[in-house]
Structure 1
């Protein structure tokens, strides 16, 4: 007699933590890195309408793909726009006509669709030793952990309040620690009158279609770097975040779906979206929910919040960006403490890979930037070279080996 595994039931009382994790992830993403999109739009000479269309396209695209992937996989698949790519475009758009840039976006997106459909990305993931992967994740997230306490130098009262509240809540109610500091911080800022919402007006965004223009110059100077930067700076660490927290969904459908989404949204201004890395860690760890089988709700919540931002365009983005930088950095760092600690423990667990994992951690934390490629790629490359030299070769990991990234076995209901 055959049996089927149905998705785990979700009760109303279970929703609070994953929904708040999804909300924090969205706030951190808009409050922390979205300024790069505005900077790139300014460099490109885009007017308010095209800038609003860019915001609409990436917000709706990220929301729909993340919601869809989380629903079908029952895992917290958090998607986001490519932050390192946005930083790259701040420079690249100064010398590239906008229509040619849109053509380059289309080429880059099509390349990701091909990569996902081919299956080679998943094979590449399996070559990475678990300890090196955990060291990479810890190194990427280290600056956020440091930023949580570095805020004391800038705003000691705000940062200090959040840190103390986090420790106290962890002691007496660990499940509500991150939710508690979010609400406490918002209340503190409102009392101080530092968040002024009186002048806000809800306005629906209006997407604008730009006819793409294809050129060899844009192919080499925008499409190729955009593809490599997004691959190394977003997809690689993003998949390692999922693996580190025990989720097993193949990378291939994620790359394919986000690539298709980017392809559809490129004519409206979207440069690239992909699986998230840093903000994903807020939703994939136990702080989002103790039971891994129920963390997929955070992916659904984040998708819905992204869609709401997209619908109302610049209005809600302005709300997120109105939060003080110290509030965003402290909130993000404290929300990621558990993930950082777990990653460090996993990185040091295997004596065979311990030194290579430490090298990977330090190299990733140094955030090396060469040839326009960010620190995640160089940290991983240095760590893999170190592992190969110290052990004679890279491991030939079977499919099941990537689950060793996370010591606790994942509940069956968490995988598709």
Structure 2
């Protein structure tokens, strides 16, 4: 651990002094190799986490695009000049923070890592990267590709489990810790880091989907299926709880159940995750929820779990209050949009939320009031490139994406340059 930090500190000065355009050129070259080896990375991802290679390949290509984005943004990440005195120059200059520790997740190991690593490297930081122990090979392969285009020790990989990560973030000499993963791990990081360390966290979510009475129930069901079952519900911004207006509840539940039964899902990342998901489902059923489809652990090898729909859910159920992170769509029927919005606003998490409505008034009210970093109207996924948000509550802190991540990876120095008063020459001519 200390050896990796020593190497990083030895490399950081030269990397910080490397012109931004040269750093950008290296990231462009790295992005090109990531694209060229997308199939290899996707196959490794599928082998380790069960994510289908075609789906994983999309994540790899998204990661390559993010590297290009930061390669382009890095050289134009400018400070400010200030209007001071006529004979002085005043500047606010961004500088690299130094050593960044990046702890990245298994559910989208290339795309997430490329974002954190790309922003850190583009702004002149050196990086110590610990990929998730559930996808160590994917992380190691990605880092190998990036290192092919970087000076020695600008990017260092530290393999290991959560204990290794906990030990790493507690070391002195770290300037930034960036973590994408569970809320429990994020809380531990916040307690462990040395004073003065910048901490960026994107942690768990319990993202609501609110369905108004004036939308087509079949379309709403298709949105719910996409949000709840994509990548087996193992997406940071998956739909985790659903509130549907009573006027369309029955046709919505019929459509949701029918579409869920048609889903053929890959396995979850491992059996430990499957046990966690199933515990949420059994808790809900024990508290009165009705199982409309799924909810049973299939026999045989692997960690498969079926697309599951629960109706009659209530606020105290774990599936409505905690992050399930699996293919479960729990539904609560509400009497009005206002009741649904109130329920959607509840809880400790604040990562993202989705609202389906034809009412501009309701859409405006929802995005204004929902305490979430990202609010999506009439689409469970999507958004313009470069979007960045700050999670709320226990879902994290700081910008994790977009141009604003460059600000997080730098520290601003104010510079005042005045004119010197020249020394008055001393006469050497003898007095008469």
- TM (normalized to structure 1)? 0.25
Larger Rg: 2
- In terms of fraction of residues, the more strand-rich structure is 2
Q: Say which structure, 1 or 2, has more relative contact order (CA 8 Å, 6+ apart).
A: 1
TM-score, normalised to structure 2, is 0.24
